[in-house]
């Protein structure tokens, strides 16, 4: 394989162990090293290795300079903390809700990675086939993994599918992940640990690129990717009310890797995902950002836990990336219009009429000055998506009125003994 100037190698090291040289990157000019400490992710560094190996000495020096503060902070905390921070009680049941749409290879990889996580506690996995039928390969893939609940949702749309999964779930904590992610060992317990605090309603985790081998994958990271950084933070109703501009829930994480307290989704002041928003609908996305909005509006707390990360497979080709970015841009405007029209939140107009155009102007200026590699054509595509957002939302609302509302989680005492969902037989 010859060197590709755009490609970035992805490697992982743990500073708890002696650092070893990275020698298998001769096909890459640059290497992104994700650094963990005892299995907990603390940051990343990019190294220009010019198709050569990276010595242990160089690796140590670069990590030391870039992540010294994060490493020392962890050392100090370890010295000061007498006992381990509390996690979620082991008797709390967790359900992983996994919606899929005709991607059997991704689904198989995802389910395979989830199996070790089921050993730590009582974990239920619900897989929703959003394109069921005789030709669907999803049921046969699910049958390879005993004990998984299988649900069919024929109405197209990620929100329809995930809501069906939430309705089928029996757990007290419901985790949503995408079928194109894989989880590392220990992910589950790190994600659910903050729920030991009763005020926490949602925990989101980091989403890291599994590979950056193609132009489109690298451009998606330049666009912003799905990760929200390596610093833990939390927001609540007070933060929600204190903002003068639109509530930036798109900065809080995504349902590619997020956990919800089941009782919150049964709260009439919150509800579930808006079926008019999200993939499979004309709006394209933002079903999760609007759910975060309603959870914060109801006064609950959302925690971003970066140590609970997953690996995501970005789109490998440019046409798929363009469709994705266009959909994200439509959904972003649809989200703000929803908060304006449904919640009467006039702060949305600040984003739509001022800060969003300002962002695009600054990005275009930076590209023209050579400060950024992000193509001007993609910036214009984002603007086109924004302009299409209002019509896309109108289309989506009409479709939902025609298809009807999706499934809703039922109160515990309303759950019947005869479930409409099927479970794969044990092997």
Q: What DSSP letter does each residue of 99-111 carry, written as one string?
A: EESS-HHHHHHHH
For domain 94-317+406-413, give the fold: Spore Coat Polysaccharide Biosynthesis Protein SpsA; Chain A (3.90.550)
59 pLDDT higher than 60: yes
In the predicted model, what is the mean pLDDT of the chain?
91
pLDDT, tens digit, 9 for 90 and up, residues 164-175: 999 999 999 999
Residue 418 has pLDDT above 80, yes or no: no
| Ranges 207-216, 403-412, 416-425, most confident | 207-216
61 contacts 47 by C-beta, under 8 angstroms: no
The fraction of the chain above a pLDDT of 90, given in percent, is 82
Distance from C-alpha of 325 to C-alpha of 331, rounded to nearest angstrom: 10
Determine the 3-state secondary structure of 258 from DSSP: strand
Residue 61: is its pLDDT beyond 70?
yes
User: Would you state the structure tokens that stand for residue 77, as one six-digit string?
Assistant: 């905390």
The mean pLDDT value for 354-374 works out to 91
Cβ-contact 172, 261 below 8 angstroms: yes
pLDDT at position 39 is 82
pLDDT exceeds cutoff 90 at 120: no
* 3-class DSSP assignment, residue 36: strand
Return the HEC string of 171-230. Answer: CCEEEEEECCEECCCCHHHHHHHHHHCCCEEEEEEEEEECCECCHHHHHHHHHCCCCCCC
Residue 273 in tokens: 């995902």
Q: What tens digit of pLDDT does each residue of 40-51 get?
A: 899 999 999 999
pLDDT digits (tens, 9 = 90+) for 221-270: 999 999 999 999 999 999 999 999 999 999 999 999 999 999 999 999 99
CB 140 within 8 A of CB 123: no
Residue among 173, 151, 147, 146 at smallest CA distance from 162: 151
Q: Which helix (H) or strand (E) holds 330?
A: helix 318-343
Does the pLDDT of residue 35 top 80, yes or no? Answer: yes
Q: Give the integer Cα–Cα distance in Å for 190 and 174.
A: 14
Cβ(187)–Cβ(309) below 8 Å: yes
Which residue intervals of the chain bear CATH 3.90.550.10?
A: 94-317+406-413
Q: Are 337 and 348 in contact (CB under 8 A)?
A: yes
pLDDT for 426 equals: 38
- Numbers of helices and strands, H then E, in the chain: 13, 13
User: Which residues lie below 8 Å from residue 323, measured CB to CB, with a gap of 6+?
Assistant: none
pLDDT at residue 414 above 50? no
Q: How far is CA 316 from CA 173, 180, 208, 209, 210, in A?
A: 33, 12, 15, 12, 12
Structure tokens at 192: 């659910």
pLDDT in tens, 279-336: 999 999 999 999 999 999 999 999 999 999 999 999 999 999 999 999 999 999 999 9
Phi, psi of 375 (to 5 degrees): -65, 145
Phi-psi region of 333 (alpha: psi -120 to 50; beta: other; left: phi over 0): alpha
Per-residue confidence at 372, pLDDT binned at 50, 70, 90? confident
Distance CA 263, CA 282 (A): 30
What's the pLDDT score for residue 84? 66
Crossing angle of the two packed helices 215-223 and 318-343, in degrees rounded to 10: 30
Return the ∠ at Cα 210 (arms to 204 and 214), rounded to 5°: 130
3-state percent helix, strand, coil for the chain, nearest multiple of 5: 40, 20, 35
- Asked whether the predicted pLDDT for residue 186 surpasses 70, the reply is yes
- 26: its two tokens: 């001769």
């Amino acid at each position: 394989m010859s060197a590709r100037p755009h490609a970035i190698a992805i490697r992982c090291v743990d500073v708890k162990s002696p650092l070893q040289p990275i020698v298998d990157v001769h096909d890459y000019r640059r290497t992104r090293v994700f650094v963990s400490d005892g299995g907990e992710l603390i940051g990343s560094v990019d190294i220009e290795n010019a198709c050569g190996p990276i010595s242990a000495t160089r690796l140590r020096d670069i990590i030391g300079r870039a992540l010294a503060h994060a490493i020392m902070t962890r050392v100090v905390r370890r010295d000061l903390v007498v006992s381990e921070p509390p996690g979620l009680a082991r008797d709390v049941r967790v359900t992983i809700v996994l919606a899929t749409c005709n991607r059997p290879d991704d689904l198989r990889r995802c389910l395979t990675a989830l199996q070790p996580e089921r050993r730590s506690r009582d974990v239920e996995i619900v897989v929703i086939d959003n394109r069921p039928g005789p030709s669907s390969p999803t049921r046969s893939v699910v049958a390879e993994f005993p004990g998984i609940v299988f649900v069919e949702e024929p109405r197209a749309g990620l929100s329809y599918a995930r809501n069906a999964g939430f309705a089928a779930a029996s757990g007290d904590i419901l985790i949503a992940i995408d079928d194109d992610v894989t989880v590392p060992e220990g992910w589950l317990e790190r994600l659910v640990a903050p729920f030991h605090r009763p005020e926490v309603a949602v925990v989101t985790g980091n989403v890291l690129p599994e590979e950056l081998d193609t132009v489109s994958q690298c451009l998606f990271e330049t666009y912003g990717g799905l990760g929200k950084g390596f610093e833990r933070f939390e927001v609540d109703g007070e933060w929600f009310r204190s903002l003068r501009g639109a509530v930036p829930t798109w900065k809080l994480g995504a349902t590619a890797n997020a956990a919800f307290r089941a009782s919150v989704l049964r709260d009439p002041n919150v509800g579930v995902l808006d079926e008019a928003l999200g993939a499979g609908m004309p709006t394209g996305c933002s079903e999760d950002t609007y759910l975060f909005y309603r959870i914060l509006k109801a006064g609950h707390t959302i925690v971003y836990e970066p140590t609970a990360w997953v690996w995501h497979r970005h789109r490998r080709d440019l046409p798929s990336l363009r469709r994705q970015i266009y959909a994200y841009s439509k959904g972003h405007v649809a989200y703000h219009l929803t908060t304006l029209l449904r919640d009467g939140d006039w702060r949305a107009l600040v984003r739509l009429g001022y800060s969003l155009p300002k962002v695009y102007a600054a990005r275009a200026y930076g590209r023209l000055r050579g400060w950024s590699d992000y193509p001007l054509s993609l910036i214009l595509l984002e603007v086109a998506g924004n302009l299409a957002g209002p019509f896309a939302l109108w289309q989506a609302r009409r479709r939902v009125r025609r298809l009807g509302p999706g499934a809703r989680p039922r109160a515990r005492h309303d759950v019947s003994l005869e479930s409409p969902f099927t479970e794969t037989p044990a092997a």
